[in-house]
Amino acid sequence: MSRSLLFIPGNNPSMIQNSDLYGADAVIFDLEDSVLVQHKDAARKLVKFYLEQFNLLSCKVIVRINGMETPFLKMDLDDLTYDYIDMFMIPNATHGAIEYITNQLKELEKERHLKKEIKLIPIIETPYALLQVKDIVKMSRVSGLLFGAEDYSMNMSIKRTKEGSEISFARNMISIAAKAYNKEVYDTPFIDVNDSEGLKKDILLAKSLGFSGKAAIHPRQIDLINTLFSPSQEDIFDALRIIKEAKKDNKGAFSIDGKMVDAPIITRAKKVIEQAKLYGLIGDGDV
């Protein structure tokens, strides 16, 4: 489970070198949009050498590879399918592309005796992908979805706004699809890196729609994303009270401060506590 996923251009040595320092739960080394065609080989080699040489990363390692429509996909998979990768992020995802990549990975993993299965995060960034989202997300190798609002808007010929009403249907659809199959779902990056108030609103909106995290395009966005996707102290306090009362009272429903507590609320409280433990906000002894 990741709250923040930080994009790092795959052709920038100094940013790659420091990629683990910003507190992101996952780092996405980008070989796609941030890398010019003439630098694709150099970027792939740089990311590969970094991941082979250094064991500094304490976060999840994701590589955004190039899409099916490019000649680079096969080289990306050939060069990078190793145990140091947790996930590949797939741009311009379609059901067919994910199926193709899954088959390629199966072969490479078997041939190289990898210790684990590399998961996939398809980016839903075309109207076609949105229509296929249910079929995409239910594939076993898919661990979560990323919404790519910029490309989606371009493909829809619509203008992006900060409040995002034009992408609300897509956001809802992607979130519902992911939740229906119990997968992670990550919101599109907020592209104005100087607007922290705008970022805050965008995060809270995504959270309210069920997104589990958000991609970031600048390290300074990480703190806010992590904070707002973590349970608040108030949430944790309430959840602890609910769990304590639920343990005491074996009834199906009871009340706290005049508000009814039943099974879904207890389940939600347990999730809050799980998250709080995961992010180091409470210890085992606190529960």
Binding residues for other proteins, per CB under 8 A? 17-18, 21-22, 54-56, 218-220
- CB of residue 18 to other proteins, shortest distance in Å: 6
Beta carbon nearer to other proteins, 6 or 136 = 6
With 0-12 CB in 10 A as exposed, 13-18 as middle and 19+ as buried, what is 89? buried
- CB of residue 227 to other proteins, shortest distance in Å: 13
- CB of residue 39 to other proteins, shortest distance in Å: 21
Beta carbon nearer to other proteins, 57 or 265 = 57
DSSP SS3 for 253: coil
- CB of residue 282 to other proteins, shortest distance in Å: 16
- CB of residue 221 to other proteins, shortest distance in Å: 10
Beta carbon nearer to other proteins, 189 or 219 = 219
CA distance 47 to 50: 5
Q: Show the tokens assigned to 7.
A: 């994009």
CA distance 151 to 226: 25
- CB of residue 87 to other proteins, shortest distance in Å: 23
Strands 144-147 and 184-187: what pairing? parallel
Distance of CA 248 to the CA centre of its chain: 37
CA distance 93 to 121: 9
- CB of residue 115 to other proteins, shortest distance in Å: 23
Strands 254-256 and 259-261: what pairing? antiparallel
Beta carbon nearer to other proteins, 55 or 165 = 55
From 214, 244, 240, select the one nearest 229 (Cα to Cα). 214
Which residues, in sequence order, are bridge partners of residue 88? 63, 120
Beta carbon nearer to other proteins, 75 or 191 = 191
Distance of CA 209 to the CA centre of its chain: 15
Beta carbon nearer to other proteins, 53 or 157 = 53
Beta carbon nearer to other proteins, 15 or 63 = 15
CA distance 287 to 277: 10
CA distance 228 to 201: 10
